[in-house]
Amino acid sequence: MARRSFKARNKMGPEILPLPAELRSALESITTATLTTVLLKKGLRNVWIRGGMPLRPGEARKAGRAFTLRFVPAREDLATPESWSSPISTRAAIEAMPEGVIAVADAMGVKDAGIFGDILSARMMKRGVAALVTDGVVRDAAGVLGTGLPIWCAGVAAPASVAGLTFVGWQEGIACGGVAVFPNDVIVADSDGAVVIPQAMVETVAAAGLEQERMEAWIMTEVEKGVPLPGLYPMNAETKARYEASKKA
């Protein structure tokens, strides 16, 4: 079978849906800790990407549609420096990334081969990519940090990606940090790591997350007043009534 052209490959996968600015802003005001609690209440337990922690301490919270990338174990006839010029390469994938997406790379948790360095990170910044999240590692740490690209990863390593991985495609279902991620799911990442919100649940999770944040902020004020935790957290009927009354006030 003939290899698909770069143009055809560049359009692979579903079209990235826009994430409305108001919804993005709402999600970026909700902690990932709150989001995991909201998703747990909706029956989803496996949503936190293992290994994806901020490369730069204090990185601002980011939210965006997932643009997925997939690596498999290195195979010597495929994982070569020459493969970087292939139509199926990380370079080609970056040129397909729309503005505002969060690139999510399934690197199989490999920690001795950096999947992105400073040049690729700089190009992602130029294209307006919001962040990179991976269960793998990056290389050229000082240069990568210098680009300003927000990155959540499992650390750094000097060897190039082809030392341990073969890049095979983008915009398909992946397993990143033990979590299933599909194109157009939404990623929220902060100092506690990165969380996946299924595409169909984004608006309801955002609304529930905002309410959860309001409720917990009110509970914290009660704790500061010296109110005991039993009946406060979680709330009993009396406490719920007081909370609802405070919202009306």
Residue 111 has pLDDT above 80, yes or no: yes
Cβ contact 134:107 at 8 Å = yes
pTM (2 d.p.): 0.91
One domain, residues 193 and 177: yes
Residue 1 lies in a domain: no
Q: How many CB atoms lie within 10 A of CB 125?
A: 14
pLDDT one-digit tens code per residue, 19-65: 999 999 999 999 999 999 999 999 999 999 999 999 999 999 999 99
Q: Give the residue among 235, 108, 229 at the shortest CA–CA distance from 166.
A: 108
Cα radius of gyration (the chain):
20
Residue 10 has pLDDT above 60, yes or no: no
Number of domains in the chain: 2
Contacts of 53 (CB under 8 A, 6+ apart): 152, 153, 154, 193
**Mean pLDDT along residues 174-194:** 98
Of all residues in the chain, the percent with pLDDT exceeding 90 is: 86
Contacts of 183 (CB under 8 A, 6+ apart): 13, 14, 16, 65, 66, 67, 68, 171, 172, 173
pLDDT one-digit tens code per residue, 214-236: 999 999 999 999 999 999 999 99
One domain, residues 222 and 197: no
One domain, residues 216 and 180: no
> How does DSSP classify residue 203?
H
Can you give the pLDDT at residue 1? 32
Q: Give the residue among 151, 186, 181 at the shortest CA–CA distance from 52.
A: 151
One domain, residues 54 and 69: yes
Can you give the pLDDT at residue 249? 81
Can you give the pLDDT at residue 85? 65
Domain that holds residue 226: 205-248
More confident residue, 83 or 88: 88
One domain, residues 196 and 223: no
Q: Give the span between the Cα atoms of 19 and 53, in whole angstroms.
A: 23
Instruction: Name the residue with tokens 């997925």.
Output: 68
Mean pLDDT of the chain: 93
One domain, residues 220 and 104: no
One domain, residues 194 and 229: no
One domain, residues 195 and 212: no
Rounded alpha-carbon distances, angstroms, from residue 193 to 33, 36, 125, 230, 232 = 9, 11, 21, 30, 28
**How far out from the chain centre does Cα 118 lie?**
20
**Mean pLDDT along residues 101-125:** 97
Could you tell me the pLDDT band of residue 2, with boundaries at 50, 70 and 90?
very low
Out of 70-84, 116-130, 176-190, least confident range = 70-84
